[in-house]
Amino acid sequence: MKLLLISNSTMPGEPYLDYPKNEIKTFLGEKPVKALFIPYAAVTFSFDNYVEKVNERFAEIGHSVVGIHTFSDPVAAVHAAEAIIVGGGNTWQLVRMLHDNHLMGPIREKVMGGISYVGWSAGSNVACPTLRTTNDMPIIDPKGFDTLNLVPFQINPHYIDANPDGHAGETREQRIQEFIEINSCYVVGLREGTMLIREGQSLKLLGNRPARIFRQGSTPVELTEKDDLSFLLNISPCI
């Protein structure tokens, strides 16, 4: 299995998808790939605009995408895909449309069969067993919390340590601690500017910031790109 799971699309002051583009290029390979892009997480802009935005950056790395919404049979589009890319946005909307179009099983089957999967933000969330560690507001009934289960742990993208001045509510860490108190899961707090790469049974962190690893009953630990995160592939799935 080949996965590139990215925390966020854009760093402050940079163009869209600029910081991860070279990792995406390396991941997809030198041969040009026309990947199937799933733009369902877009809510306030059109799927066509999303495809255009992604293709603008992919043109710089010798690859391109085609939107799944342009196919009359989305399941057949998945079966024919060279690679699958899932963009960020609202995870609840993304999961709803994946369920509505009966795509959870076909995508999982295709990726388990060896094609490359790239996701950022919501696209990384849905690679996990469940969407329940998303940061997004539940704007729509997702018709079930289960997602692709391509990794057995959960990801919290855009993980942030800060507690803003004047904010008296829970921090991100406290929210995740609530989650693992109820669910016996590992959660990877994936900070902005970082990503996870899975190749077979190898899992590594890419980026110059550590990931924060949460587990029920344990003190969170910080792991860097120098650490081997492959142990996270051998845990019981979060369900």
| Structure-block tokens of residue 187 | 């959660």
Selecting among 18, 146, 158, 227, the annotated active-site residue is 158
Selecting among 7, 9, 116, 121, the annotated active-site residue is 121
Q: How far apart are CA 97 and CA 146, in angstroms?
A: 13
Selecting among 9, 63, 116, 136, the annotated active-site residue is 136
Is 158 noted as a catalytic residue in this protein? yes
Is 79 noted as a catalytic residue in this protein? no
Residue 46, C-beta contacts closer than 8 angstroms, at least 6 positions apart? none
Is 69 noted as a catalytic residue in this protein? no
- Tell me the backbone φ, ψ of residue 23, rounded to 5 degrees: -65, -40
- Find the distance separating the first CA and the last CA of the chain, reported in whole Å: 21
| Structure-block tokens of residue 104 | 């959870």
Q: How far apart are CA 26 and CA 132, in angstroms?
A: 30
Where in the sequence numbering do the catalytic residues fall?
121, 136, 158
